[in-house]
Amino acid sequence: MAKLVYDKTGRLIFTKEMKKDYTILFPMMAKTHFNIIKNVFVHYGYKTVLLETDGPEIAQVGLKYVHNDTCYPAILVIGQMIHALQSGKYDVNKTALMITQTGGGCRASNYIHLLRKALVKAGFENVPVVSLNMSGLEKNSGFKITIPMLRRMAAGGLYGDLLMSLDNQVKPYEIHKGDSAALIDKWTDKLTEVLASGHGFTRKEIAMYLDSIAEDYSKIPIRKTPKVKVGIVGEIYVKYASLGNNNLEQFLYDQDCEINMPGILGFAMFKVDNRLEDYKLYGGSRAKYIVVKKLMNYLEELESMIISSQVKYGFHPITPYAHTKSLVKGIVGYGSKMGEGWLLTGEMLELAESGFPNIVCTQPFGCLPNHINGKGMIRQIKRVNNKANIVAIDYDPGAPRVNQENRIKLMLAVAKENLRDELENKEEKAETKTAKKVSVKAVKK
Amino acid sequence: MIKIGLDIGSTTVKCVALDENNNILYKTYERHYSQITNKISELLQKIRKEVPNADDALIAMSGSAGMGVADACGIDFIQEVYATRVAANTFIPKTDVVIELGGEDAKILFLSGGMEVRMNGSCAGGTGAFIDQMATLLNVPIEELNDLAEKHEKIYTIASRCGVFAKTDIQPLLNQGAKKTDVAASIFMAVVNQTIAGLAQGREITGNIVYLGGPLTFIPQLRAGFDKALKTTGICPENSLYYVALGSALCAEKKADLDNTIAKIEVYKGTGNFAFNKPLFQNQQELDAFRKRHASATVKRGELKNHSGNVFVGIDAGSTTVKGVVIDEKGTLLYSEYMSNSGNPVPIVKNFLTHIYEANPNIKITGSAVTGYGEEIIKNAFGIDYGIVETIAHLTAAKKFMPDVEFIIDIGGQDIKCFKIRGGVIDNIFLNEACSSGCGSFLQTFANALGYSAEEFSKLGLLARQPVDLGSRCTVFMNSSVKQAQKDGATIEDISAGLCLSVVKNALYKVIRVSSPRELGSKIVVQGGTFLNDAVLRAFEQEMGTNVIRPEISGLMGAYGAALYAKSLSDQKSTSTILTTQQLSVFQHEIKSVNCGGCSNNCRLTINTFSDGRKFIAGNRCERPVTKKSPDESMNIYQYKLKLLKGYQPQEGKRGKIGIPMGLNLFELLPFWHTFLTKLGFEVVTSPLSTRKLYLHGQQTIPSDTVCFPAKLMHGHIQWLLDNGITNIFYPCMSYNFDEKLGDNHYNCPVVAYYPEVIHANVSEIEKVQFFHEFVGIHRPKDFPKKIYIELQKYYGDITLKEVKEASKAAYSEYNTYLEKIRAYGENIVEKARSEGKEIIVLAGRPYHVDPEINHGIDKLITSFDVAIISEDIVSHHEKKKKTGVLNQWTYHSRMYAAAEYVSGYDDMNLVQLVSFGCGVDAITTDEVRAILERNGKIYTQIKIDEITNLGAVKIRLRSLLAATKQGKGQ
């Protein structure tokens, strides 16, 4: 074990010594993104391991060490980490944990504190916890996110968004099963190499690699058949993590659906934009506003690069953040920023508008911001877009999967009926058209 | 071609066969007792025999329990709500709305004007199962429940959230002697309210309404309840039980060879993949050794018949059972009875006493004591000498078995009570919250549902190989988990063992929140009826990894403790005031219920009249209905706050009326906004204090059924303003609250911050008025006027910045004055209490817990114990920001941490935390407040509040706290 160093408040520090031989465990969320980002950490000398364990015992461990009424993601993430420490797979004297910390009025900003409480309870008080945050919340001498590292991570996230989006569009229609998955693997390896070699994170290179990815995907042979199109939105962890949502993506795929999951970039832009909105609503430092505005512009630029690559190779492009934002005007205020805030409402509107009216809104049981922006806004969303067919699903350690799937199936039954009607309408129109043509021809004769 | 539709529900299987013209050739409805596959193949075989040409029919399956079977057997699965819709469209084409209640599901289908389907969320639990549970509780068959309801006179308020909640409401009603007829009708009304509140979500239920499903078919009074609530007359069509089955038959597209299908169903065994725990016992030897070990914790027994010395009577009038014991001066157990409580404990105790007198007519009863839910009524009815709080009764009994006991856990029929003992004094109390209670009785209900007695059922699990892992959540969830496990091939033995494990896990991880046996100490006594069950006991030992003592009289401990307590207090020569043989023989008991009306709480009083004309009133929160005097409220800051808020009256202004809904953060901010708006020339009208009626009035527009009760109430307040013709409503969004420098940040919780958005999006009438729900930042006094001026301009163009600036100044100043006033008054209470030697309780919650409909008069209840009450905001400003183990970022919650620190400095102060059910933030704050208090050697007491109006559990907590404090000081 390395020497244990504490800061003034008594927090265990991740030291430089630890960086040398400690393994850092990090819970998996969005697979495509996290695999690439993890490799950035590895490249910078942090022995990072993404925890991909699953099974009911994880929730049980979580329930044992975390207040049972806390949100489900905290129970799972903390359960997963303690489960790993207890598994014997890692030398607990040489293991650290890493967890994201967002800050903000939601309970999620407390995960790291709940994790530390749980570690003490489980007898792992010597395991340091590293906060992964962009707000300078907690500092560690042995862990520092440098600007070059940040740029690589951002690029990794961006590639992840594109890969995920393309995979969702191609996988349901691919002729050779597994083509799309193979491309994700190929690009994860390739991008890891590229980022490690000091490339792939300037604007120019990003644009180039985004193009190559989209080009690669466009070459996968597909057969387009009419499928039910389902959007997935929700609290960020249960939305992306298969551990959190009982493998929702796979379930929908097995039900013969095409999925659309708005990307992580949008969420990042939302969090940055909140600072601008706070300034507008309540006042504050003009200088800070200008700096944040610049960052926002940069993110917008990255977003437009993804869109242009998708359009270039004939894919359904992601919806620009600015457009999503414009959709919620008059429905919910931009000040509603805790958790996923108004973005959640916006994403549902955006999905319904862009051909994905069937939506699964995922949330941990009793998620506070979701009362407002998820369930609370469904009525308004339906008013704006009467095609919207939304099912809100609660995830929690006691909620049986069968009930969740039954509810989703109800949404799908309605979706299938709508799809059938749509196709019939099209056929009818096509028939009347051909009939007209025939009659015209007949007249000509 | 024949079409067959199957509906595999949570408790029943329905099956229909249709001909080409959709005529029903065959139909059947049977309970499956969870033997799903057997039942299906049995039914299909019957159809094959009885319906000609059924051999190659089209077939489809539906129902919540049918999904896995359908997939495995290659039968098309039709989602059940969808099936209902198809059937309704076919058979009753003009239907507008379908309301369907099933074993565990509640559904509303809007068919006309934009099709929508609503199912109950995973929290709302079952409705049919709920009615079953309630019938069991009342000890009547369902049909009789209906007959009872028909004769009702009154409707009681029963929480309409989930079965477990309702149970905690009903039990005290029964214990207090409410009539079964009224309770039965109230149960149905609760189901009606639950369905409407949970599922309508702002959409009106009008037009042609069709009732479907088992409960609505079999229970006319339930239909009557819906008719009444919806002000309409719905129809319950012929075949109302079969709509899902009919729908799936109509949707059937796949031809199936019936023989082949039957063969497939018969071999279907589920996936065999369910999570399980290790067996309770590896083999019979282990079980024998275990039984032998526990057989040694006995109590000395004697004969009552010929006993000539002084004896003491102890009675434990529990929620589902009544226990009575007679002991001698050495604690020898002379007589005991363990009786099931079918609603009213009075006749049961009467029988018990009669039996004693019969057994020994010359008995010398020197002292008697009663404990448990029925304490008050039994004490009054039979002249029992002492009433004692359950926790003390159990501790007294446990000490008899293990004088240095460190931890006691009691799992009864409905509640879990645990307490840590330090130095012989109760140091910490854990009671189950309303949401996880009912564990013991749940085992029973479940056993019955599966066709076993509770005893048989629990024995099944002892040698189970793979006890199902059902988690540690609320019992309603377990129902579904059990079904899932059954589908995956778990045996009845595995399920029995699994349920016992769940009871234990619930107690350990939900109630006590323990993570290792170390925390509980090594000297543990377990008791309560549920621990008589060997499987539960073993599960407990296994989960804790330690051996414990279960007294042989485990189920009688409360009564035994009460008897010991009576013994310790009784002078040997004195005689008990308990009714004599003669008095008992003429004993009569009549029950009448009335509304108090003495104050805004409007308590539903139950007046018990006994044979000698004595009266006992139950259901009251304060002494007013008994003494006819107003209670002294001078030592109650909650009442003072209400009085101050009442002072903010409308003042006529040039801009006309503007309404403020009195809920959530507006409680504390009323002085601020009232002044601000009055200065701007508005006449500020506030909605009245919440009432049940006001709540029900707004419940149709609540979009999320799991949000906290205070937020739900907001819909009622807004509705009140709308109904009263207010055309301007002011309810701003606030991410941030005032920065009181006690935390790392000063947020409002997400619900408080953004609830105006929910109102805007879900109350359709709000569009007709000017609804100011913009974001404002009162935390930045300098920027505030400029910013709110811009927002106000959107609504009231003629307001000037100068006006706004002046109004802001006055508002901030008034808010400070208000704070100063309550603080000064609070300090006075503290001083006065100290001079009179009274205990002081800091009743810590949120500002809106002042609302009597939210706190259910808990403040008055506390003052009735002769203690003074202040609130967290009275003392928080004395503290400086301290390091907390959590991110301290919400203004209201920072105050609680500060108050906990402050209280720790005074011997005569204790903190009681009010927690709203469903408040996510409190999952974090409760642990932290507890940690602060315990670090400083204080007892932590938490009261969870919701729609429930049952104060029984609250009383136990408070009395235990006060008793423990007293005992602690005595040492």
HEC letters along B407-450: EEEEECCCCEEEEEEECCEEEEEEECCCCCCCHHHHHHHHHHHC
Would an 8 Å CB–CB cutoff place A406 in contact with chain B?
A: yes
Contact B27, B42 (CB under 8 A): no
CA atoms within 13 A on the CB side of A159: 36
Tens digit of each residue's pLDDT (9 = 90 or more) over B776-829: 999 999 999 999 999 999 999 999 999 999 999 999 999 999 999 999 999 999
In chain A, what are the domains? 16-145 (3.40.50), 227-262+319-445 (3.40.50)
Contact A411, A391 (CB under 8 A): yes
Cα A266–chain centre separation: 9
d(CA B351, CA B620): 28
pLDDT at residue B618 in the model: 74
CA atoms within 13 A on the CB side of A145: 20
Residue in the block written with tokens 């920065």: B739
Interchain pair A398, B477: CB under 8 A: yes
Interchain pair B753, A336: CB under 8 A: yes
Which of B733, B783, B924 has its CB closest to that of A336?
Answer: B733
d(CA B655, CA B59): 68
Nearest CA in chain B to A122: B515
pLDDT at residue B475 in the model: 58
The structure's pTM equals 0.82
Q: Is B395 helix (H, G, I), strand (E, B) or coil?
A: helix
Nearest CA in chain A to B505: A64
Q: Which residues of B touch A344 (CB under 8 A)?
A: none
Whether the pLDDT of residue B11 is over 80: the answer is no
Strand partners, A26: A50
CB pairs under 8 A between A and B: 223
Nearest CA in chain A to B886: A113
d(CA A229, CA A354): 10
In chain B, what are the domains? 3-92+244-267 (3.30.420.40), 106-236 (3.30.420.40), 310-315+341-401+560-585 (no CATH), 408-548 (3.30.420.40), 589-618 (no CATH), 638-818 (no CATH), 820-970 (3.40.50.11900)
pLDDT at residue B435 in the model: 44
d(CA B75, CA B69): 8
pLDDT at residue B923 in the model: 80
Report the candidate in B473, B312, B308 with the shortest Cα–Cα distance to residue B384.
B312
Nearest CA in chain A to B519: A121
Tens digit of each residue's pLDDT (9 = 90 or more) over A251-274: 999 999 999 999 999 999 999 999
**How near does any CA of chain A get to the CA of B162, in Å?**
15
Q: Which of B118, B512, B515 to mutate to test the interface with A (most CBs of A within 10 A)?
A: B515
Nearest CA in chain A to B62: A406
| Residues 382-401 of chain A whose Cβ lies under 8 A from any Cβ of chain B | 382, 386, 392, 394, 396-401
Q: In A3-146, where does DSSP find H-type helix?
A: 16-21, 31-43, 56-65, 72-86, 111-122
**How near does any CA of chain B get to the CA of A370, in Å?**
9
Would an 8 Å CB–CB cutoff place A254 in contact with chain B?
A: no
**How near does any CA of chain A get to the CA of B635, in Å?**
34
Q: Which residues of B touch A409 (CB under 8 A)?
A: 67, 77, 79
Q: Both tokens of residue A341?
A: 């805030």
Q: In A228-359, where does DSSP find H-type helix?
A: 236-240, 248-254, 264-282, 286-312, 321-327, 341-353
Q: Is B356 helix (H, G, I), strand (E, B) or coil?
A: helix
Residue in the block written with tokens 């994170």: A201
Nearest CA in chain A to B475: A398
Least confident of A89-98, B268-277, B394-403, B857-866: B268-277
Which of A380, A396, A402 has its CB closest to that of B761?
Answer: A380
Per-residue pLDDT of chain A (445 residues; tens, 9 = 90+): 889 999 988 899 999 999 999 999 999 999 999 999 999 999 999 999 999 998 888 988 898 888 877 888 999 999 999 999 999 999 999 999 999 877 676 777 788 989 999 999 999 999 999 998 877 778 888 998 888 999 999 999 999 999 999 999 999 999 999 999 999 999 999 999 999 998 999 999 999 999 999 999 999 999 999 999 999 999 999 999 999 999 999 999 999 999 999 999 999 999 999 999 999 999 989 999 999 999 999 999 999 999 999 999 999 999 999 999 999 999 999 999 988 999 999 999 999 999 999 999 999 877 778 888 988 898 889 889 988 999 989 888 766 677 788 889 889 988 998 999 889 888 887 777 766 665 555 544 4
Q: Both tokens of residue B822?
A: 């309550």
Nearest CA in chain A to B917: A69
Single-letter code of the amino acid located at B467: P
Helix-helix angle B220-230:B142-150, to 10 degrees: 50
Residues whose CB falls within 8 Å of the CB of residue A81, separated by 6 or more in sequence, listed in order: A25, A27, A51, A97, A99, A115
Contact B507, A56 (CB under 8 A): no
Interface confidence (ipTM) of the complex: 0.87
Q: Mean pLDDT throughout B617-635?
A: 70
Contact B437, B411 (CB under 8 A): no
Would an 8 Å CB–CB cutoff place A225 in contact with chain B?
A: no
Single-letter code of the amino acid located at A171: K
Contact B900, B831 (CB under 8 A): no
Residue in the block written with tokens 């808010």: B815
Interchain pair A396, B484: CB under 8 A: no
d(CA B918, CA B705): 10
- Please count the other Cβ atoms lying within 10 Å of the Cβ belonging to residue B155: 18
Would an 8 Å CB–CB cutoff place A373 in contact with chain B?
A: yes
Q: Which residues of A touch B473 (CB under 8 A)?
A: 68, 396-398
Range ranked top by mean pLDDT from B116-130, B619-633, B945-959: B945-959
Interchain pair B473, A365: CB under 8 A: no
Interchain pair B761, A63: CB under 8 A: no
CA atoms within 13 A on the CB side of B395: 24
Q: Which of A379, A385, A395, A396 to mutate to test the interface with B (most CBs of B within 10 A)?
A: A379
Would an 8 Å CB–CB cutoff place A410 in contact with chain B?
A: yes
Contact A363, A390 (CB under 8 A): no
Q: Which of B754, B755, B763, B897 to mutate to test the interface with A (most CBs of A within 10 A)?
A: B754
d(CA B474, CA B322): 25
Would an 8 Å CB–CB cutoff place A329 in contact with chain B?
A: no
Contact B108, B200 (CB under 8 A): yes
Give backbone dihedrals phi and psi of A242, rounded to 5 degrees, phi first.
Answer: -65, -30
**How near does any CA of chain A get to the CA of B709, in Å?**
13
Interchain pair B114, A106: CB under 8 A: no
Interchain pair B77, A409: CB under 8 A: yes
Residues whose CB falls within 8 Å of the CB of residue A410, separated by 6 or more in sequence, listed in order: A391, B79, B81, B82, B117, B119
**How near does any CA of chain A get to the CA of B787, in Å?**
7
B626 or A125, greater pLDDT: A125
B342: confidence class by pLDDT, cuts 50, 70, 90: low
